[in-house]
């Protein structure tokens, strides 16, 4: 079934690409991981991203209707300029989005982003009914605005919606994004998450496993262990994952990772989510780097706890990811033991360290 689904998606993407190339977009390419097609229009510094989920139709839809819908979809992208050159026009279209810290693929110009949470960054996009285009760092010069001003404007464009009523008991709330609500982006609004306390019946704990799903439950809820498990499954299977971790508001209203004590009943769930996110983001980074990098994996168990382990298997130079422990040859050493022998590599996010030879 999964194979048939991949084939159907690839066929749909090829139909989109064929139409784009007829229109002169020779660089159009399909991203299987995000189920999207990217192309760069003449004069644009960053590509337009065409998310294809909305094109998936019921089998009963007629061929002519599917073809017509596909033509309208592609034409809408070709008619719409990617990023307005005028700040006044662009400002109202900006939205912040939460994504993995690993930058976009190498064929994308440097996107405008800033750190948000561990292994996550805040990017800016131009939002239109049928398109979402990432803003490049160079675009700020054309707009003659600072990065802080651009991010501030994008945040002000979020709805900041609140729930009405008061929960009579601990309640799990699911926000499902219809395409323009940007629910997961609301975690970037200071104070927004904490304002949901009355509606969930306790201190809000948020999950954002993929771009279209935000789940909020009260701290201490009996549902939290199962939510961690569900969220990891969604995160692992989604073409557009964000994070398997849980988040809360700190004393200043900023969204931060959910932390529990070493003897907390769900400590294992929290540890595993942290490890899975780190390993996934380092894996994405390794695929993008054209250098010898050491891999990292999740090790442990529920009774013994979860952690990350980097694998330095040869006594040769490599780039090590930050991990709880490092397998150096046949010996497992703590990060504290290994770090003094390493040199941090500048301008890498997530960070890596240059390792020349095994510490003796």
pLDDT of residue 151: 97
Identify the helix (H) or strand (E) that includes residue 90: helix 87-91
Query: Domain tally for the chain?
Result: 4
Question: What ranges make up the beta strands (E) of 62-129?
Answer: 94-100, 113-117, 120-127
Model pLDDT, residue 59: 64
Statement to judge: residues 332 and 282 lie in one domain: yes
Same domain for 91 and 34:
no
Dump pLDDT digits (tens) for 14-60: 998 988 887 778 888 998 888 888 888 776 666 788 888 877 766 66
In the chain, % of residues over pLDDT 70? 89
- Domain-terminating residue out of 81, 111, 133: 81
Residue 161, both tokens: 């919606």
- Provide mean pLDDT across the span 158-166: 72
DSSP 8-state code for residue 190 = T
User: Same domain, yes or no, for 88 and 130?
Assistant: yes
Judge if 76 and 116 occupy the same domain: no
Supply the pLDDT for residue 107: 41
Per mean pLDDT, which range of 63-77, 86-100, 328-342 is the poorest?
63-77
Q: Is residue 75 part of a domain?
A: yes
Spell out where the chain has E strands: 29-31, 36-39, 48-51, 94-100, 113-117, 120-127, 132-134, 173-176, 204-210, 213-218, 246-249, 255-257, 296-301, 305-312, 318-321, 325-328, 331-334, 343-344, 352-355
Give first-to-last CA distance, the chain, whole Å: 51
How far from the centroid of its chain's Cα atoms is residue 272's Cα? 18
Question: Is 78 a residue whose pLDDT tops 90?
Answer: no
What would the mean pLDDT of 319-333 be, rounded to a whole number?
Answer: 95
Higher-confidence residue of 236 and 138: namely 236
Is 306 in the same domain as 231? Answer: no
Same domain, residue pair 217 and 232? yes
Tens digits of per-residue pLDDT, 286-320?
A: 988 877 899 999 999 988 899 999 999 888 889 99
Which residue carries 């971790």 as its tokens?
245
Q: Supply the pLDDT for residue 108.
A: 47
| Shared domain check, 56 and 22 | yes
Q: Which are the contacts of 53, defined by CB distance < 8 A and separation ≥ 6?
A: 35
Could you tell me if residue 57 is inside a domain? yes
Shared-domain flag, residues 3 and 75: yes
pLDDT level of residue 178 (50, 70, 90 thresholds): low
d(CA 35, CA 8): 11
**Which helix H or strand E contains 104, and what residues bound it?**
none
Confirm whether 262 is domain-assigned. Answer: no
Whether residue 303 is contained in a domain is answered as: yes
Q: Which residue has the higher pLDDT, 91 or 40?
A: 91
Q: Which conformational region is residue 253 in: left (phi greater than 0), alpha (psi within -120 to 50 degrees), or beta? A: left
Helix axis angle, 224-237 relative to 267-288, nearest 10°?
10
Which of 42-56, 104-118, 322-336 has the largest mean confidence? 322-336
**Exposure string over 134-167, b if 16+ CB within 10 A, otherwise e:** bbbbebbeebebeeeebbebbbebbeeeeeeeeb
CA distance 181 to 248: 20
State the angle between helix axes of 63-79 and 2-22 in degrees (0 to 180), rounded to the nearest 10: 50
pLDDT at residue 169, rounded to an integer = 73
Spatial contact of 310 and 326, defined as CB atoms under 8 Å apart = yes
pTM: 0.79
* Rounded distance between C-alpha atoms, residue 257 and residue 183, angstroms: 18
Name the DSSP class of 3. Answer: H
| Residue 155: predicted pLDDT | 95
CA neighbor of 100 nearest in space, from 89, 84, 113, 81: 113
Measure Cα distances from 273 to 21, 50, 149, 284 in Å.
41, 30, 33, 17
Residue 277 resides in a domain: yes
Domain boundary among 157, 183, 205: 157
In a domain, 163, yes or no: no
Task: Classify residue 100: in a domain, yes or no.
Answer: yes
* Domain with 95 in it: 83-157
Q: Is residue 268 part of a domain?
A: no
Looking at 257, 290, 318, which one is the last position of a domain?
257
């Amino acid at each position: 079934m999964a194979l048939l689904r991949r084939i159907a998606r690839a066929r749909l993407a090829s139909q989109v690409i064929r139409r784009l190339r007829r229109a002169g977009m020779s660089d159009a390419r399909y991203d299987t991981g995000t189920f999207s097609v990217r192309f760069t229009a003449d004069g644009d510094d960053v590509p337009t991203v065409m998310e294809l989920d909305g094109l998936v139709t019921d089998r009963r839809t007629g061929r002519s209707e599917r073809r017509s819908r596909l033509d309208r979809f592609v034409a809408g992208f070709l008619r719409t300029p990617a990023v307005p050159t005028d700040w006044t026009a662009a400002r109202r279209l900006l939205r912040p989005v939460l994504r993995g810290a690993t930058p976009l693929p190498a064929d994308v110009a440097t996107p405008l982003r800033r750190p948000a949470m561990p292994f996550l960054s805040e990017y800016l996009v131009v939002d239109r009914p049928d398109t979402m285009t990432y803003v490049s760092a160079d675009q700020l010069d054309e707009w003659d605005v600072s990065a802080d001003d651009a991010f501030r404007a994008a945040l002000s464009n979020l709805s900041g919606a609140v729930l009405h009523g008061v929960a009579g008991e601990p309640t799990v709330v699911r926000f499902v994004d219809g395409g323009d609500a940007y629910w997961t982006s609301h975690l970037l609004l200071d104070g927004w998450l904490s304002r949901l306390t009355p509606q969930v019946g306790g201190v809000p704990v948020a999950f954002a496993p993929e771009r279209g799903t935000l789940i909020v439950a009260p701290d201490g809820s009996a549902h939290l262990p199962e939510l961690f498990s569900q969220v990891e499954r969604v995160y692992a299977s989604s073409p557009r994952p964000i994070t398997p971790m849980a988040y809360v508001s700190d004393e200043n209203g900023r969204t931060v990772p959910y932390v529990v004590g070493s003897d907390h009943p769900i400590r294992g769930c929290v540890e595993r989510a942290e490890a899975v996110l780190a390993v996934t983001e380092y894996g994405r980074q390794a695929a993008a780097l054209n250098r010898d990098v050491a891999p990292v994996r999740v090790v442990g168990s529920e009774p013994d706890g979860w952690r990350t382990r980097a694998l330095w298997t040869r006594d040769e130079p490599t780039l090590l990811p930050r991990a709880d422990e490092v397998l150096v040859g046949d010996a497992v050493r703590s990060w504290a033991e290994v770090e003094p022998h390493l040199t941090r590599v500048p301008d890498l996010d997530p960070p890596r360290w240059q390792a020349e030879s095994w510490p003796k």
